[in-house]
A and B are shown apart, each in its own frame.
Chain A
Amino acid sequence: MSLDPATVRRIARLARIGIDESDLPALQGELNGILGWVEQLNEVDVEGVTPMVGTGHAALRTRDDVVTDGNCRDAVLSNAPDAVGPFYTVPKVVE
């Protein structure tokens, strides 16, 4: 599996990470290096093996459906890069 420049561009788009054309060759080389190296997993026979999705020590649990927090609007907004009053702002998305 080898990534071409178009695929690298597509991944960057999916990840919402801006890249310059000048970044592409180095990035392509590094990602291909890592992907080539993980190819070694193809040697492993995983027929019938269940994928591991957790260590299995913590069982999912439910909690009472009650409010445990709240009334902290200012704290929530305290790190917003561009809050206006009690609101987050976003760039205009509708023409």
Chain B
Amino acid sequence: MSLTELTIADAAAGLRARKFSAVELVRAHTDAIAALNPRLNAYITTTSDAALQAATHADEALAKGEAKPLTGIPLGIKDLFCTSGVRTTAASNILKNFVPPYESTVTANLLRDGAVFVGKTNLDEFAMGSANITSAFGPVENPWKRNGDDAALVPGGSSGGSAAAVAAGLAMGATGTDTGGSIRQPAAYCGIVGLKPTYGRCSRFGTIAYASSLDQAGPMARSVRDCAIMLQSMAGFDVRDSTSVNCDVPDYSAAVGRSLKGLKVGIPAEYRAEGLSAEIEAAWQRGIEWLKAAGCEIVDVSLPHTKYGLATYYIVAPAECSSNLARYDGLRFGERVPGDTLDAMYEATRRAGFGPEVRRRIMMGTYVLSAGYYDAYYLKAQKVRSLIRRDFTESFQKVDVLLTPTAPTPAFAQGEKTDDPVQMYLNDIFTVPASMAGMPAMSVPVGLGATGLPLGLQLIGRPFDEETLLAAGSALESAAGFTHRPVIRAEGAK
């Protein structure tokens, strides 16, 4: 088997057994990036030379028996995580030459555990988008194709570069961030596993902020176990993030494959929404049967405020975005466009530096926070957000985990759904509610649809119960036996 087809778990075992070296493993991935990235555009910045050097150190550590959990494992890092000395752009022109002098906590944790970073993955500008088409560095192509159709499909967003890289074998795993679905929806579109942890589980320090009450980092990989291994490293308390939660990090890998006997799985009626494709509804039904066969009890539940999740999100997230992005003023860092006055400089800088979707969200947020409209929009949305969370809290008194589709459709083509912002926002209809409530959630690939594209199911768990997601996710993964691979992938690439 090609080195770019291995799981993280198998590669770590192979490195320890000296079946191949870290240099060989990393080189297989940097070669694949050189061959395929010009087409997929999954990486904004590649760090192949540094990665090969790190791999040499990894081989030394392996030789001395000092290997850590991720020693020698090539990972992609979403270009929203600050990486010391490596350009970090947030896929925006305003940060196109930004080189952070410090490391984010999540990436520092991965480096501590031996991971090798092969590059910074593409994303929607400032993580605002659901198709990875708003990047200032160009769109990412999904490595999957519809049967008999060469049309370029979107990888989902905003962590589209991470999802495409992992699916195509240009990284063994990648970090993502999820604000309203930005890990789970691209994972579903690219046929990989993506886990958004509980809000507060992974530190936000050094992650470029979009909507701070929602942003959460998480792993994206080709198996549930690999997500557990990555999360083990990424999670943990951090004094430098005031919303980081100080609770123990359990042994996530131990939850993978755990018995589900007696587990209560809720099926929320409201997710049978208008626009849900028949093939995804069928995949959902199969998922229910698989969990039943694994010993779960299936319980119908109701989350009555589900349909208000998106509208609430598109008030709260832009409001926070307008505050967070106020820092890009052309003064302290980032690009500056001169103007005759200070205000003219600000306006010219922000017009040139931000793309249309970011400008639109900043303006929406500015409006809903402005005098006279705050109560009608922002305060109202915060109250509805309370009701959305209450729906989950009440459901979790009856069930242990919820099973839903991840997205209403499989991946769509570049150029589709771009005329109307609201149509694009509807891709996140099933992922946004868990984000609003701060609950952990995971997408697992469970099969291919009629056109040959991967379909994902979402598990939503209680706060800080990522273990149940991993246990139920691994049951879905085993039952589905999802071994399909995209058309465009590293294997065979030279």
Name A's B-contacting residues (CB within 8 A): 1, 3, 8, 11-12, 14-19, 27, 30-31, 33-35, 37-38, 40-41, 44, 46, 49-55, 57-58, 60-61, 63, 72, 75-76, 78-82, 88, 90-91, 93
> Chain A residues with Cβ under 8 A from B362's Cβ?
15, 17
Q: Which of A1, A35, A44, A61 contacts B384 (CB 8 A)?
A: A44
- Give the distance in Å from the alpha carbon of A61 to the alpha carbon of B245 in the complex: 11
Contact, CB under 8 Å: B385 / A52: yes
Residues of A within 8 A of B376 (CB): 1
Inside 8 A of B250's CB, which chain A residues have their CB? none
B351: A residues at CB distance < 8 A: 17-19
Q: Are B370 and A18 in contact (CB under 8 A)?
A: no
Judging by beta carbons under 8 Å apart, are B382 and A53 in contact?
yes
- When C-beta atoms are compared, the residue in chain A nearest to B338 turns out to be A91
17 A-B residue pairs with Cβ-Cβ distance under 8 Å, sorted by A, are A18-B350, A18-B351, A30-B421, A31-B363, A33-B421, A34-B364, A34-B421, A41-B311, A41-B380, A51-B386, A52-B389, A55-B198, A58-B243, A61-B242, A75-B102, A78-B101, A81-B331
Instruction: Contacts A34-B364, A37-B422 given; indicate if A54 touches B311 (C-beta within 8 A).
Output: no
State whether A50 touches B350 (Cβ < 8 A): no
Among the stretches B127-135, B186-194, B228-236, B340-348, the one at the interface with A is B340-348
A17, B363: Cβ atoms under 8 Å?
yes
On whether A31 and B333 interact (CB within 8 A), knowing A41-B384, A55-B199, A57-B438, the answer reads no
Q: A11-B367, A34-B314 are in contact. Are A46 and B331 (CB under 8 A)?
A: no
Q: For residue A78, give the distance in angstroms from its CB to the closest CB of chain B.
A: 6
- Return chain A residues, CB-CB under 8 Å to B370: 11, 14
B422 touches A79 (CB 8 A): no
* A44 and B308 contact, CB distance less than 8 A: yes
Would B330 and A57 count as touching, CB distance under 8 A? no
**B residues whose Cβ falls under 8 Å from a Cβ of A:** 97-102, 198-200, 213, 239, 242-246, 305, 307-308, 311-312, 314-315, 322, 326, 329-336, 338-348, 350-351, 354, 359-360, 362-364, 366-367, 370, 376-377, 379-387, 389, 420-422, 437-438, 463-464
Instruction: Return the chain A residue nearest B351 by Cβ.
Output: A18
Closest to A29 in B: B420
Decide: A91 and B345 in contact? CB cutoff 8 A. yes
With contacts A18-B351, A27-B363 taken as known, whether A78 is within 8 angstroms of B99 at the C-beta atoms is yes
Give the contacting residue for B363; candidates A11, A49, A50; CB below 8 A: A11
Measured CB to CB, the nearest residue on chain A to B436 is: A52
**Across the interface, do A80 and B347 meet the contact criterion of CB distance under 8 Å?**
no
- Using A18-B351, A30-B360 as known contacts, say yes or no to A46 and B384 having CB atoms under 8 A apart: yes
Contact A75 B342 (CB under 8 A): no
Q: Among the listed A16, A19, A40, which residue makes an inter-chain contact with B311, where contact means beta carbons less than 8 Å apart?
A: A40
The 8 closest A-B pairs by CB, nearest first: A55-B438, A51-B382, A18-B347, A79-B333, A75-B101, A18-B351, A81-B336, A46-B383
Q: Which residues of A contact B305 (CB under 8 A)?
A: 44
**A85 → chain B, closest Cβ, in Å?**
15
Across the interface, do B382 and A79 meet the contact criterion of CB distance under 8 Å?
no
**B213 near A79 (CB under 8 angstroms)?**
no
| Interface pair A16/B346, CB less than 8 Å apart | yes
A38 & B315 in contact (Cβ 8 Å cutoff): yes
State whether A33 and B420 are in contact (beta carbons under 8 Å apart), knowing that A41-B308, A55-B463, A79-B334 are contacts in the complex: yes
Complex Cα distance, B311 from A91, in Å, reads 40
Contact B200 A58 (CB under 8 A): yes
Distance in Å: Cβ of B176 to nearest Cβ of chain A: 20
In the complex, the answer to whether A93 meets B333 with C-beta atoms within 8 Å is: no
Q: Which residue of B lies closest to A54 (CB)?
A: B213
B387 lies within 8 A of A16 (CB): no
Residues of chain A within 8 A (CB-CB) of B97 are 79
In the complex formed, the residue of A with least CB distance to B198 is A57
Are A17 and B350 in touch, CB under 8 angstroms?
A: yes
Measured between alpha carbons, how far is A19 from B347 in the docked complex, in Å? 8
Q: Separation in Å of the B110 CB from the closest CB of chain A? A: 22
B380 and A46 form a contact (CB under 8 A) = yes
The answer to whether A91 and B385 touch across the interface, beta carbons within 8 angstroms, is: no
Contact assessment for B367 and A31 in the assembled complex, using a CB-CB cutoff below 8 Å: yes
Contacts of B380 in A (CB 8 A): 41, 46
Residue of A44, A49, A81, A88 touching B335 (CB-CB under 8 A) = A81
By the criterion CB–CB under 8 Å, are B198 and A15 in contact?
no
Are the CB atoms of B360 and A27 closer together than 8 Å?
A: yes
Contacts of B341 in A (CB 8 A): 91, 93
Q: Is the CB of B333 within 8 A of A80?
A: yes
- Determine if A57 and B463 form an interchain contact, defined as CB atoms under 8 angstroms apart: yes
Contact B385 A51 (CB under 8 A): yes
Question: In the assembled complex, which residues on chain B have CB atoms less than 8 Å from the CB atom of A17?
Answer: 347, 350-351, 354, 359, 362-363
- With CB as the reference atom, state the residue of chain A lying closest to B201: A57
* A38-B311 CB under 8 A given contacts A51-B382, A55-B463, A91-B342: yes
